[in-house]
Amino acid sequence: MPRKDLIQTDFLVIGSGIAGLCFALKVCDLGTVAIITKKDQAESNTNYAQGGIAAVLSSEDTFDLHIRDTLKGGLNLNRREAVETVVREGPERIRELISWGVPFSKRRGTADHDILDLGKEGGHSRNRIVHCSDMTGRELEKVLLDRVRECDNITMYEDHLAIDLVTEHHLPGQTPPPGGPIHCWGAYVLDEDSGGVKRFLAPWTLLASGGVGQLYSHTTNPPIATGDGLAMAYRAGAEIANLEFMQFHPTALYEPGKMAFLISEAVRGEGGILKLKDGTPFMKKYDPRADLAPRDVVARAIDHELKKSGDECVTLDVTHLGHDFLVKRFPNIYGQCLSHGIDAARMPIPVVPAAHYMCGGVVTDLNGRTAIRGLLACGEVAHTGVHGANRLASNSLLEALVFAHRAALGAREEDGGASEGTPQVPAWSDEGTFDSEEWIVISHDRAEIQLLMTDYVSIVRSEKRLQRARERIHIILREIDEFYRRSPVRAALIELRNLATVAELVVRCAQMRKESRGLHYTIDYPEQDDEHWLKDTVILSRGAGK
Ligand SMILES: Cc1cc2nc3c(=O)[nH]c(=O)nc-3n(C[C@H](O)[C@H](O)[C@H](O)COP(=O)(O)OP(=O)(O)OC[C@H]3O[C@@H](n4cnc5c(N)ncnc54)[C@H](O)[C@@H]3O)c2cc1C
């Protein structure tokens, strides 16, 4: 009789956003695929993407221009090979999405037939953003999930939350071979319905668990973005890099205490103007590209203006674009604003910067391989080197698409660790734990981490603030670790532990970089220092296991 807590599969995919779903679709002809996802299958950063996907698709654009824009945006910290790969292979991936049924928006072309409506966003020198009006992510998720449902080899496990990757650390009497590779054989996973922990074992595991926005008090990311994949990979012994480069989206709807609704960069691309509360435009003071400057420049400019004025928000004025245009081009944004009592055709939209996208992550090669054998990583959790010190708008969905495809190709050629066989992995043990009724600690610590990160580790940093954050996070981490060892696993506790781990890693990366570059700005080293810092901040661990 197969044990109910043991699921053996050929591919384990952690996450059902664009990276996980695309990978699953591309390997499902090779064997069985289990996708685990911690909430509803559509709940992901992907689902909320508005602006679109960047790719060279017009005769007025070239690969060289897209490469140049991306390198310029990333302040030359990008890995050039990764940028070239993502740019050159992008158009093919978009055509594939079209063939799968993604309904990208079109407009009437000169030869009287419909052509893709290519938008323009900050940092891009040409119109190259394919989009489904302003609901690109929702349409993408829908089409990908529909295709996944058609595939008999793929099983979706909703409300299944990965706790830890299974490595040598979990095998009785074993430690990872000194200097040799660590292996990943799957993951321990909490079934949130039953409360039990299952072993999902596979020769290949794909980490596609998305971002870390929940580290901060204001974020555009949904509640799932708690950095679980990063923390798991770190505990397992993977290489982590460049976490100091957290992108803050300059324009989230100002709504204290709520998940911040994003006002897409495309709104500025179409002519939206940032103004102070008294109606004065201010971006020209900070950058010749004014409202189309890259996100970090705009976020810092807003931060500066808010600190100076003491106001709680600035405004984004689109009233001159007219009601009909706004409703057609930005139906979702227009509707969302309206539901908050703001008619964007008649009044400016109040906006603030919010944590949006993590550029660093688990280090991978160009085929999604990590330093751990059998473990691949793609999408926002991965660090391929595409973004450097700052991500250009709409390059992230592209990165996820291209590298999910390449990871799948790689997995077709290698067997992960299948030929070596899967070891006997012990069942999860709750021994020595008890329900302590101190669960209030969880929400309290989570809020404290978010506040610490917002106050000390956000848009403008200093050595003193970083050190203060590190000391406090260290104390919180110790408390959480103790609590974790004493208590039966629950989703909130797993996420809290991961948030604290990632917070510490972000601070460590930020403390390593003694310069200001892209998204990392510190008042103690305000200049960019190419001589010493044209390199990644890398954190290595040999893994801590459970
Ligand atoms: C509001 C918003 C707008 C954006 N707009 C754009 C845009 O226009 N263009 C662009 O290029 N990028 C955009 N981005 C960024 C882009 O959407 C993300 O980088 C991308 O979707 C990440 O895809 P992913 O597959 O890596 O992760 P996600 O789509 O976030 O998926 C992660 C998945 O992992 C699951 N998961 C996480 N932890 C666990 C765990 N422990 N166990 C099991 N499952 C887990 C989640 O439930 C989820 O299913 C936007 C992001 C946001 C938040």
- Reduced 3-state DSSP string for 412-429: HHCCCCHHHCCCCCCCCC
Whole-angstrom Cα distance, residue 190 to residue 409? Answer: 30
Please give the number of the atom of ligand 1 that sits closest to the Cα of 131: 8
Closest residue by CA, ligand 1 atom 14: 49
Per-residue model confidence (pLDDT) at position 294: 78
Residue 103, helix vs strand vs coil? coil
Q: Write b or e for each residue in 233-266: b if 16 or more Cβ atoms lie within 10 A of its Cβ, otherwise e.
A: bbbbbbbbbbbbbbbbbbbbbbeeeebbbbbbbb
Residue with tokens 């506790």, as numbered in its chain: 493
Token pair in block for residue 88: 């050159």
Is any ligand 1 atom within 6 A of the Cβ of residue 210?
A: yes
Block means of pLDDT (10 residues each) for the chain, 546 residues, are: 82 98 97 97 94 95 98 96 98 98 92 88 92 94 98 98 95 80 95 96 97 94 96 97 96 84 90 96 96 87 88 94 95 94 96 95 98 97 97 96 97 75 88 78 91 92 97 95 91 96 98 97 97 96 64
- Measuring CA to CA, which residue among 222, 246, 179 is closest to residue 383? 246
Pocket-testing residue among 36, 135, 397, ligand 1, by greatest number of atoms within 8 A of Cβ:
397
Residue 181 Cα to ligand 1 midpoint, Å, equals 29
Whole-angstrom Cα distance, residue 205 to residue 191? Answer: 18
Is any ligand 1 atom within 6 A of the Cβ of residue 212?
A: no
CB 377 within 8 A of CB 362: yes
Phi and psi torsions of 163, nearest 5°: -95, -50
Whole-angstrom Cα distance, residue 313 to residue 526? Answer: 25
Active site residue 468: no
Whole-angstrom Cα distance, residue 236 to residue 372? Answer: 8
- Measuring CA to CA, which residue among 234, 250, 249, 303 is closest to residue 509? 234
Residue 16 Cα to ligand 1 midpoint, Å, equals 9
Per-residue model confidence (pLDDT) at position 440: 82
CB 210 within 8 A of CB 44: yes
Gyration radius from the chain CA atoms: 23
Pocket-testing residue among 26, 41, 46, ligand 1, by greatest number of atoms within 8 A of Cβ:
46
Closest residue by CA, ligand 1 atom 31: 17
Whole-angstrom Cα distance, residue 123 to residue 292? Answer: 7
CB 425 within 8 A of CB 170: yes
Whole-angstrom Cα distance, residue 406 to residue 308? Answer: 47
CB 88 within 8 A of CB 432: no
**Left (φ > 0), alpha (ψ -120 to 50) or beta: where does 99 sit?**
alpha
Pocket-testing residue among 209, 245, 330, ligand 1, by greatest number of atoms within 8 A of Cβ:
209
Is any ligand 1 atom within 6 A of the Cβ of residue 154?
A: no
CB 176 within 8 A of CB 167: yes
Whole-angstrom Cα distance, residue 463 to residue 521? Answer: 11
Residue 106: which H helix or E strand, with range? strand 106-108
Whole-angstrom Cα distance, residue 75 to residue 279? Answer: 32
Q: What pTM value is reported for the model? A: 0.94
Per-residue model confidence (pLDDT) at position 442: 85
CB 285 within 8 A of CB 335: no
Q: What angle do CA 286, 287, 289 make, to 5 degrees?
A: 145
Is any ligand 1 atom within 6 A of the Cβ of residue 298?
A: no
Catalytic residue chosen out of the listed positions 128, 295, 300, 329: 295
Whole-angstrom Cα distance, residue 450 to residue 221? Answer: 13
Phi and psi torsions of 102, nearest 5°: -70, 120
Is any ligand 1 atom within 6 A of the Cβ of residue 232?
A: no
Residue 210 Cα to ligand 1 midpoint, Å, equals 5
Phi and psi torsions of 352, nearest 5°: -140, 160
Per-residue model confidence (pLDDT) at position 419: 67
Is any ligand 1 atom within 6 A of the Cβ of residue 214?
A: no
Per-residue model confidence (pLDDT) at position 545: 56
